Amino acid sequence: MNFDVIIIGGGAAGMVAAITAAEYGEKVLVLERNDMLGKKLLITGKGRCNVTNNSDNENIMKNIPTNSRFLYSALAGFSAYDVMDFFESLGVPLKTERGNRVFPVSDKAADIVNALKNRLKELDVKIINERAEKILTDNSSDKPFVTGVKCGKNIYKAEKIILCTGGKSYPGTGSTGDGYKMAKELGHSVTELKPSLVPINTEEDTKSMMGLSLKNVTLTLKDEKNKALYQELGEMLFTHFGVSGPLILSASAFVKKGSYKLYIDLKPALDEKKLDARILRDFEEAKNKNISNVLRKLLPEKLIPEILTRSGISAETKVNVITKEQRKRLIENLKALTFTVKSLRPIEEAIITDGGISVKEIDPKTMQSKLVDGLYFAGEIIDCAAYTGGYNLQIAFSTARLAGQTRGV
């Protein structure tokens, strides 16, 4: 029951912290409440696992809007290139895709999880599937220091504890906020917890388009001053509540307080003039047909009624009577189909949590608590959040490496 280091949480950060500590010769225990390690890691990147972003630390930090400067030492010690070398040394070949996103060549998140598990086994790291309830401390001196972890009737002792319990997103994977509670009990502050990288509720009714996936569209998010905060080409999806998919999740990270609109360019490869020429050509080929039928060459079936309604054109209108003004409105909607952001979906549906343990209370050079000796933090539990593209896992790996290699008090 005595260990040098106890890791609470067997996710991305927990496993890397455990491997690092064990490589330094420490006797390590991982406490994981689930019956398996890396449960959330298995579903990241649609089950493909976007492990990092193949870029330098300057770019990584640009993509971390929340407390990027706090991560300077962690990234300096374990960069994206180091992460890639680390996984390839564990036998997982990697590849770089659009946006410098890095995935296993196999496109299987399970390969990443299994590589970490195999390394833990090689290093004789003890894994116990129990829920940590309380971090025990000795308060006899000026500054408390950790002594162990209580799990039900069992107590596991160690003078170094790394808290890697994740955030509050995806509670089905075990991220239920336990770590915040344990840290609060020891005097730590938790900043406001908000969803990030999450689907969006729209003011407009999208039920008729539910399930429709759009590929190769350009999404732009603008604020109330009409300033573009985000723009990218990619995929998105309509749902019963609004919109989801990779583009939407990325855009959601920019939604704070205030009003926002989403603009979808359905035909980004064509400017308005070329699109008009294309429409006129389609009209010429089917002069006596209803516009709803002719638009099938241009749009998915589910989208046609929405576009026509917004353009003020009846579905039964023959294309030979469509006016220039109606065609202009049609093109406007094809190039900027607009939706109003009503709200973000709940934190339980978010990929990551924005907010967490205040970085003011953590030493950035070690990841150790400034309040309790021997207590360390790594991963999503810390108040650092990034955009999509592998940046959030990079935060997890870098902070875990730093926490794991710092010798206990």
Q: Is 370 exposed, middle or buried (0-12, 13-18, 19+ CB in 10 A)?
A: middle
Q: Are strands 28-31 and 126-128 parallel, antiparallel or unpaired?
A: parallel
d(CA 389, CA 249): 11
DSSP state string for 17-50: HHHHHHHTT--EEEE-SSSSS-TTGGGGGGGT--
Question: Can you tell me the distance from the alpha carbon of 209 to that of 368, in angstroms, rounded to the nearest whole number?
Answer: 49
Tell me the DSSP string of 141-177.
Answer: SSS-EEEEEEETTEEEE-S-EEE----SS-GGGT-SS
**Residue 409 confidence (pLDDT):** 43
Asked if the 5-194+350-405 domain carries CATH number 1.10.287.3240, the reply is no
Q: Which of 367, 364, 359 is nearest to 20 (CA)?
A: 367
The single-letter code of the amino acid at 148 is G
Quick check: 50 and 102 in contact, CB under 8 A? Answer: yes
* CB-based contact 235:247 (threshold 8 Å): yes
Domains 5-194+350-405 and 199-345 share a fold: no
CA–CA gap between residue 286 and residue 282 (Å, rounded): 7
So what's the pLDDT on residue 174?
57
The DSSP string of 371-402 is SSBTEEE-GGGBS-B--SSSHHHHHHHHHHHH
Residue 333 half-sphere exposure toward CB, CA atoms < 13 A: 19
Structure tokens, 349: 């549906």
Q: What phi-psi label fits residue 209: left (phi over 0), alpha (psi between -120 and 50 degrees) or beta?
A: alpha
Which residues partner with 303 through β-bridges?
none
Q: Running DSSP on this structure, what letter comes out for residue 360?
A: G
Q: Which residue has the tokens 């398996």?
A: 36
Query: Each residue of 185-216: b (16+ CB within 10 Å) or e?
Result: ebebebbebbbbbbbbbbeeebeebeebebee
For domain 199-345, give the fold. Answer: Helicase, Ruva Protein; domain 3 (1.10.8)
Q: What are the sequence ranges of the domains in the chain?
A: 5-194+350-405, 199-345
Neighbours of 383 (CB within 10 A): 25
Encode the chain (409 residues) as per-residue pLDDT tens digits.
Answer: 899 999 999 999 999 999 999 999 999 999 999 999 999 899 888 899 999 999 999 999 999 989 999 999 999 999 999 999 999 999 999 999 988 999 999 999 999 999 999 999 999 999 999 999 999 999 998 999 999 999 999 999 999 999 999 988 766 665 678 999 999 999 999 999 988 899 999 999 999 999 999 999 999 999 999 999 999 999 999 999 999 998 999 899 899 889 999 999 999 999 999 999 999 999 999 988 999 999 999 999 999 999 999 999 999 999 999 999 999 999 999 999 999 999 999 988 888 899 999 999 999 999 999 999 999 999 999 999 999 899 999 999 999 999 999 764 4
